[in-house]
Structure 1
Amino acid sequence: MASPPSSSTSGDTAAPPPRSTWVILSSIPSVVQGSGAETADLSLALAAPPRVSRLTVSQRVFPDAPTPHNFPFLLAADSSGLLLLSAILAVPRTRVDIDRPGNHPGESIMHQALVGVIASPGDGGRYMVAELVPSFGSDEADLRCFSSDLGEWVNKRVHYPLPPRILSPLCTLAHHGRLWEAHGVLDKFRYVGVSAGSLRFVDTYRRGGAPNKVTVWTLRNPDATEWTLEHEATFVDIWADDTYKATGLPKKVPVLALIHPYNPAVVYFFLEDHLFGVDVRAHKVVKCDRYHLVAPPRSYPIANRFISAWELPRAVSSGIRKTEIVALDD
């Protein structure tokens, strides 16, 4: 990714009108019992934000009984309608076949957060799934690619100039025809996503004795090397507003959830059993409701990896159930 945020500031960029509706999608699908012909492999229960929409898959997609350690997980939800689903199985049914010169070894997915999906710019249902596997101590990495055109995995050796990082990556996301890798300090305090057509970095990580606050940064274009500060607010200012008082929530620093995909001034947070949106520029709560997730394992605290902001494809938003699943066995 680009270098850490700079300290420069600039005026706000007006967000374009929404191209379509969007939802907050739970990352852990429900698994419906039964696998008869009448059972759909995929179904969606859509709800307006800040309520959480749910994905349900059949036992044909995830044959094991879900447990705290084995469960399906949504890695990416693309506005083209592609859903990238990882099947964390007790016993892997298949392994990724990597086409290397001279042989085809079977290898498993190394790290879910380094896997992403990108749709063909020309649409037509074509896509590519890619996993980046850095070689630490080297300036090269393996890029494992699965193309819908080829129907198999191919390994590419690529230049990887970034230094080794101790902190785990949080996600891989598609933007501007590329896959981007997001790092951060846990997924309770930082978030990288696309809003109003630009990459945005949201930070709530407290440094030293500084006040708890939320900042929204923008990468002006895909080739930029510095982030620009767009919005910031202290939580003290947010708590003092009548809109926050009306929620009845305590004056407690929340867990960062996501950024609004069309309005970069609006950031969503988890607090207790609520999910609420804050207009950072105005210091006001704009949405608040209880959330209901397919429960993440109790050993995992709530974090932004358990939801995704999904810009609905027209086929879904118009009521046509036509969403393609790309399933990975991990």
Structure 2
Amino acid sequence: MAGVPWVLLSRVIRVEPAAAAAAAAPDFTLRIALPPRLAILAAGRGAHPDPNRPDRNPYIIAGGPLCLLAHFAVAPSMGTTFGDTDNDTRLVMVRQFHRADGVTTASAELVPGRADDNEPAPALLNVGSVGLISYDEADEYLISELQVRKGSDYATLVTFESGAQGWYTEVLESPFAQEDRDREWDPHGAVCVETTLWWFDLSRGIVSCDMDGDHDLLFHPLPDGRALPMATPLMLTQRCITVSQGRLRYVEVIVPEVGGDDDDSGDDNEAARVRMWTMTFGPAGWMWEANYSVGFPEIWDDASYRVTGLPRNVPIVAAVCPLDPNLVYFTLNRHIFCVNVARHRVRHIALWDDQVNNARLDAAQASARYVLPWYLPLEVAPGAAGHGS
């Protein structure tokens, strides 16, 4: 995908006001902005599964070369609700992007509901457990949810493929060792590398499945020393699993406890650092390879950071550039900025626009869970290539 323009897409879809959501309006409109500003997808009346009870905060689960996968709920529910999903939620494919007269639009394609079949599939458990594979040449896609239940010897894949009439279910052997099956699996998202889906729990590790292979589920723990006893809210602002240069990356902002194993100074703030690992395959199988570990004082001391006027505070991880893993996007004090971590330099900075969505995002929501790096379809991409790289 080198040379293809990409954007930082707000995962929370803007809902057009009733006056602007006329029946003749496009299902979706896309406001393109180049990183570090956010691109915004807005939903018109026709995008909602139930237009008479529109979702106030639909959520973009994943993106592919020609499409986006969105989660819509029926009011008063919201698509940004991850767990305890009820039956009033549906998946919508955002497709057929088109640009004319300076306006980018797209169409909504409702994914069949799981209860619509003669043999209904299990209900959606968690938005964070849904993965997407998009095949750019054939405009086809596959959606698969990994359902892991505590204490079970089995896991379930619930899958839909474009062109099919319904969902199908596969019961597979659990990817976890017997002694680890009594721990709760807390899904935080999924990414795709070629034909493999990688579902992740940021406190624990990743489960992978090659959807074109034998559908064996494999568990990959986080890098040594990075697993947590349980998921925490703070973890969502400090950890990110994503794809850059076609490879799976794990990036973490590490803020050591004073006196802890990771503490290299007496100052909790000054000792903080950003680290990255890459998943590689070798003779021993899949393993993590360390890329870099840079202390934030090295970034704060650089002239490029000082001119931003930002304080020497530990930021939130928002995204990694899909073209260059050295470029990490952070948010701090309503700003979003890009740092070339290897060179300790701030590349770009912009205000975080808290009016782009339907509700103000607090600091915790300006994180990787609410920002999606996405390659624009060539039909609607700006003329210049390699933006943000």
Band of TM-score, shorter chain:
0.7 to 0.9
**What does residue 215 of structure 2 align with?**
none
Letter of the structure 2 residue corresponding to residue 233 of structure 1? V
Distance (Å, rounded) in 1 between the aligned partners of 2:361 and 2:4: 35
Contact 1:296 1:306 in 2 (8 A): no
Mapped pair 1:104 → 2:119: yes
Q: Which moved more, 1:256-265 or 1:219-228?
A: 219-228
Distance (Å, rounded) in 2 between the aligned partners of 1:317 and 1:152: 33
Letter of the structure 2 residue corresponding to residue 159 of structure 1? E
Distance (Å, rounded) in 2 between the aligned partners of 1:298 and 1:18: 31
Mapped pair 1:156 → 2:170: yes
Mapped pair 1:48 → 2:46: no
Q: Comparing both chains, which one has the higher relative contact order based on Cα–Cα distances under 8 Å and sequence gaps of 6 or more?
A: 1
SS of structure 2 residue aligned to 1:225? strand
**What does residue 76 of structure 1 align with?**
62
Mapped pair 1:203 → 2:286: no
Structural RMSD (CA): 2.4
Distance (Å, rounded) in 1 between the aligned partners of 2:249 and 2:122: 33
**What does residue 243 of structure 1 align with?**
304
**Identity of aligned pairs, percent?**
28
Residues 1:274 and 1:259: Cα distance change in structure 2 (over 3 Å):
same
Contact 1:50 1:276 in 2 (8 A): yes
**What does residue 171 of structure 1 align with?**
189
CA drift at 1:306: 1.1
**What does residue 217 of structure 1 align with?**
277
Residues 1:252 and 1:299: Cα distance change in structure 2 (over 3 Å):
closer
SS of structure 2 residue aligned to 1:317? coil
CA drift at 1:295: 5.1
Given the alignment, which residue of 361, 366, 375 partners 1:311?
A: 375
Given the alignment, which residue of 277, 285, 290 partners 2:338?
A: 277
CA drift at 1:314: 1.5
Residues 1:106 and 1:231: Cα distance change in structure 2 (over 3 Å):
closer
Residues 1:207 and 1:225: Cα distance change in structure 2 (over 3 Å):
farther
Mapped pair 1:89 → 2:74: yes
Distance (Å, rounded) in 1 between the aligned partners of 2:194 and 2:60: 21
Contact 2:33 2:39 in 1 (8 A): yes
SS of structure 2 residue aligned to 1:169? coil
Given the alignment, which residue of 318, 327, 338 partners 1:257?
A: 318
- TM-score with structure 1 setting the length: 0.82
Letter of the structure 1 residue corresponding to residue 299 of structure 2? I
Letter of the structure 2 residue corresponding to residue 203 of structure 1? E
Residues 1:93 and 1:24: Cα distance change in structure 2 (over 3 Å):
closer
SS of structure 2 residue aligned to 1:263? coil
Mapped pair 1:26 → 2:7: no
**Which structure 1 segments of 5+ residues have no match?**
1-16, 320-330
Instruction: Detail structure 1 runs of 4+ shifted over 6 Å in the superposition.
Output: none
**Which structure 2 segments of 5+ residues have no match?**
78-87, 91-112, 204-234, 264-270, 384-389
Cα deviation digits, residues 253-281 of structure 1 (max 9, x gap) = 00111111011111110101100011111
Letter of the structure 2 residue corresponding to residue 154 of structure 1? Y
Instruction: State the number of aligned residues.
Output: 295
Letter of the structure 2 residue corresponding to residue 204 of structure 1? V
Residues 1:35 and 1:275: Cα distance change in structure 2 (over 3 Å):
closer
CA drift at 1:117: 1.2
Distance (Å, rounded) in 2 between the aligned partners of 1:296 and 1:160: 39
Distance (Å, rounded) in 2 between the aligned partners of 1:227 and 1:29: 34
Residues 1:225 and 1:106: Cα distance change in structure 2 (over 3 Å):
closer
**What does residue 120 of structure 1 align with?**
135
Residues 1:230 and 1:58: Cα distance change in structure 2 (over 3 Å):
same
Given the alignment, which residue of 237, 257, 261 partners 1:188?
A: 237
Residues 1:296 and 1:171: Cα distance change in structure 2 (over 3 Å):
farther
Contact 2:146 2:155 in 1 (8 A): yes
SS of structure 2 residue aligned to 1:204? strand
CA drift at 1:168: 2.2
